[in-house]
Structure 1
Amino acid sequence: MQSLTTTAHYQQLLGLPSTWMVENVDLSMTAMQVVIRLVYTGKNAICTECGETCSIYDQAPEQKWRHLDTMQFETIIIARLPRANCKEHGVKTVGAPWADRHSRFTLMFEGFVVQLLQHCSNTQAVSTLLGLSWHCVDDIMRRAVKRGMARRGDDSIEHLGIDEKSFRAGHQYVTIMNDLDGGRVLDVVETRTTKATVKLLTSLAAKQRKKVLSVSVDMWNPFAHAVRKKVPQADLVHDRYHISKYLNDAVDAVRRQESRALNTTGDKTLIGSKYAWLRNPENMSDKQRADFDQLMTCELQTGIAWSLKNMFRAFWVLTTRDAAEYFFQYWSDAVDRSKLKPIIKVKDMMVRHLEGILNFFRHRTTNAVSEGLNSKIQLIKASARGFHSFESYRTRILFYCGKLDMAI
């Protein structure tokens, strides 16, 4: 018979309700394990479906849960859960007050794992430290995210950002919705179609959607269609980060075309200069600036493309929509005069989406927050060395970027 002092000690440590008692505590020095056996002492049981008090039908087979270690000893709880005999729902196994349903870990242990994961984004490192499988840690993260998502309120969100992120090779993407003011990921869905984006927006409560003022998106039509369908009152805002990317890609396309043409005559001027054309002047070192100035004296088509790209940066610091509209027309004429097809192609796309670009001056929102979150997501992806399933990818994005209350 276990001493009263030991069982009472563990009874207090576990914080058990009055219907559960510590029956026995066994210490195994060889297995480095403490096993705590619990027994149900209640006269009735609560149906998990309706919450009614019922008679006890019988007890389920023994189950085990891992608890927080006692000193350096792994601690295991063993118990048989009662089964309630409900008149309406039949025989139902009662939940364990110390663990989530279908979990083989106590709530305290899961809370400890969540804290470790929040301080170490490497799941494998946490798995190794605690002697758990990757799948066990993944399940704990899923339950934590589910808890956090359930606790989210329906506070007003005025400015949304919707962006894509690569998932796997072969042009497989996920679509991410961010709260730009709160700096958090709201949810993630597979693919970047209109249907997927509608699903993403529908994850917000109807009254939240009605209060959205703007949605910052790339010039990708499925995003625009979904926004018009689910938040028609919100302004579409096409932000500077995506436009800068398109312009940089156009400059690089001009460079590649011109480099091939020069190579046929033995001119190597543009070889190895790719990143020089992608840098902004203020980010160049003294040597880089000197080398770049030398390139610009060569009167290259790439230099003209770079000048047009750099000229457009002034667009974003203008103070009024009217001034921006006038500047855009002036810049567009300069692009047309250059006759550089890659730049003209980007300009034509911007003309088609001009209203969304000019909406920047109404809300002054950008996807800068989304870009920052994307960088964090990229680190998570690199640390995990990729993901086999979308659900695991989504779980980690929300776990680390959702600002969720996942406490036990």
Structure 2
Amino acid sequence: MRDTELYRHLLGLESPWTVAKVDLSISTQRVDVFVEHPQGQKWACPVCGDLLPVYDHSEERVWRHLDSCQFQTFLRARPPRVQCPKDGVHQVRLPWAEPKARFTLMFERLAIDVMQVTNIQAARQILRISWDEAWHILSRAVQRGLLRKEPRPIEHLGVDEKSIARGQRYFTLVCDLNRGTVEHIADGRDKRSFESYLESLSEEQVEAITAIAMDMHEAYFQAALAKIPDAQRKIVFDLYHIMQHMTGAVDEVRRAEHKALSEEGDNRLARTKYMWLYGQERVPRKYWGQFLYAAQKRPQNSQSLGAKGEPAPHVALQTPLSGHFLLEELVFLGHSLSARSRHQGSEDAEVT
């Protein structure tokens, strides 16, 4: 079998496409496969499907294909263009790659399989591609998935902010918590970032939402109130951020008490920051003696450091957070939510 015939089979090419020649470079470990079509061939308009003669050809393009015996393989061709009376001049569809792609469909399929089991850095090393090329493939895969995605009701919604570029830039992430899928990504972390997603939902999708998990970011809170009916009963502040605020408040109390005790020459609270942040059932044995010594002289704010001198227990939330009840009871009363925008109390809200 000739090399041209071999690569026609490897590429999966069918008429009218054929392999004209194959260039092999041992020094660069590269294979270039040149593809062409016969003269007089008619092509379908990519818009309406009408068969039309060749108008002209684009400049030669190069697509990365699957490696051949560890040699990087590239497909080269000049895509034909047609002039449709109805739709104008367009490049015809190519069987081995999507429009504007730099890789063949076979290579992109392999790349996505690799990226699903590893990170971008490892994937680009395995595939021998650049960061830009890896993200190009990933972005195209996401776009294909979004085009195939059908609207569906989401019962439990999650919204959060993520930082990139060392915290210099933020984006908003909206997820379906039941399915574990990303539903929306938007630049920024303002009210509009979340509102734009909520406005894209149908009336049925909005009514299907029964809970919205978020941190205490004011912009997301206000967006939910503006776009979700009865949002004050559906918003759930996630436990991670609640505990983050609570442990922060505990540490503020520790520092204040340590300062007061230090002025009396008592340093028993020195270097005990992390000791007080453990749940009482998780205090490491190495802290037991130090904790008992520190507890002999109770800090003034015993409610913050534990009613019996032990670290404050974790909060177990049995129902969605609602109302000013929790905002008034928990230690992070300095949160920026205005009195007008706080939740209205719920009879079934409990904290244990």
Q: Same fold (TM over 0.5)?
A: yes
- Structure 1 pair 252/79, CA: closer, same or farther in 2 (3 Å)? same
Number of the residue aligned with 2:81: 83
Question: Residue 32 of structure 1 contacts residue 74 of structure 1 at CA under 8 Å; is this kept in 2?
Answer: yes
Matches within 5 A, 1:9-408: 9-41=6-38, 43-121=41-119, 123-169=120-166, 172-234=169-231, 235-301=234-300, 303-307=302-306, 310=312, 313=315, 316-317=317-318, 332=329, 345=334, 353-355=342-344
- Structure 1 letter corresponding to 2:246: L
Q: Deviations over 1:35-86 (max 9, x none)?
A: 2211124721222333332221122222111110111221111111111111
CA distance in 2, matches of 1:356, 1:22: 73
CA distance in 2, matches of 1:358, 1:138: 49
Number of the residue aligned with 1:339: none
Normalising by structure 2, report the TM-score: 0.84
CA distance in 2, matches of 1:233, 1:344: 24
SS at match of 1:274: coil
- Structure 1 letter corresponding to 2:146: M
Number of paired residues?
344
Offset at 1:203? Answer: 4.7
CA distance in 2, matches of 1:352, 1:92: 54
- Structure 1 pair 109/279, CA: closer, same or farther in 2 (3 Å)? same
SS at match of 2:101: coil
| Bigger RCO of structures 1 and 2 (CA < 8 A, at least 6 apart) | 1
Offset at 1:217? Answer: 2.1
CA distance in 2, matches of 1:349, 1:280: 31
SS at match of 1:310: coil
Offset at 1:98? Answer: 0.8
Number of the residue aligned with 1:370: none
- Structure 1 pair 253/17, CA: closer, same or farther in 2 (3 Å)? same
Question: Residue 47 of structure 1 contacts residue 53 of structure 1 at CA under 8 Å; is this kept in 2?
Answer: yes
CA distance in 1, matches of 2:184, 2:243: 26
CA distance in 1, matches of 2:202, 2:58: 40
- Structure 1 letter corresponding to 2:237: H
CA distance in 2, matches of 1:199, 1:145: 19
CA distance in 1, matches of 2:11, 2:349: 56
- Structure 1 pair 344/87, CA: closer, same or farther in 2 (3 Å)? closer
- Structure 1 pair 164/206, CA: closer, same or farther in 2 (3 Å)? same
- Structure 2 letter corresponding to 1:140: I
Question: Residue 161 of structure 1 contacts residue 180 of structure 1 at CA under 8 Å; is this kept in 2?
Answer: yes
Normalising by structure 1, report the TM-score: 0.73
Offset at 1:169? Answer: 4.9
Of residues 58-67 and 4-13 in structure 1, the stretch that sits farther from structure 2 once superposed is 4-13
- Structure 1 pair 239/33, CA: closer, same or farther in 2 (3 Å)? closer
- Structure 1 pair 294/53, CA: closer, same or farther in 2 (3 Å)? farther
- Structure 1 pair 359/96, CA: closer, same or farther in 2 (3 Å)? farther
Question: Residue 198 of structure 1 contacts residue 227 of structure 1 at CA under 8 Å; is this kept in 2?
Answer: yes
SS at match of 1:154: coil
CA distance in 2, matches of 1:25, 1:358: 76
Q: Deviations over 1:345-390 (max 9, x none)?
A: 46x98997454787767xx9xxxxxxxxxxxxxxxxxxxxxxxxxx
- Structure 2 letter corresponding to 1:254: V
CA distance in 2, matches of 1:85, 1:143: 27
Question: Residue 216 of structure 1 contacts residue 239 of structure 1 at CA under 8 Å; is this kept in 2?
Answer: yes
- Structure 1 pair 23/205, CA: closer, same or farther in 2 (3 Å)? farther
Offset at 1:21? Answer: 1.6
In the alignment, structure 2 segments of 5+ residues that lack a partner are none
- Structure 2 letter corresponding to 1:263: S
Question: Residue 46 of structure 2 contacts residue 93 of structure 2 at CA under 8 Å; is this kept in 1?
Answer: yes
- Structure 1 pair 172/69, CA: closer, same or farther in 2 (3 Å)? closer
Q: Which structure is higher in helix share?
A: 1
Question: Residue 281 of structure 1 contacts residue 289 of structure 1 at CA under 8 Å; is this kept in 2?
Answer: no
CA distance in 2, matches of 1:139, 1:16: 25
- Structure 1 pair 144/270, CA: closer, same or farther in 2 (3 Å)? same
Offset at 1:218? Answer: 2.5
Q: Deviations over 1:6-53 (max 9, x none)?
A: 333322222223221222223333332222211124721222333332
CA distance in 1, matches of 2:271, 2:60: 68
Question: Residue 40 of structure 1 contacts residue 82 of structure 1 at CA under 8 Å; is this kept in 2?
Answer: no
- Structure 1 pair 320/143, CA: closer, same or farther in 2 (3 Å)? closer
CA distance in 2, matches of 1:213, 1:328: 20
- Structure 1 pair 44/138, CA: closer, same or farther in 2 (3 Å)? same
RMSD: 3.4
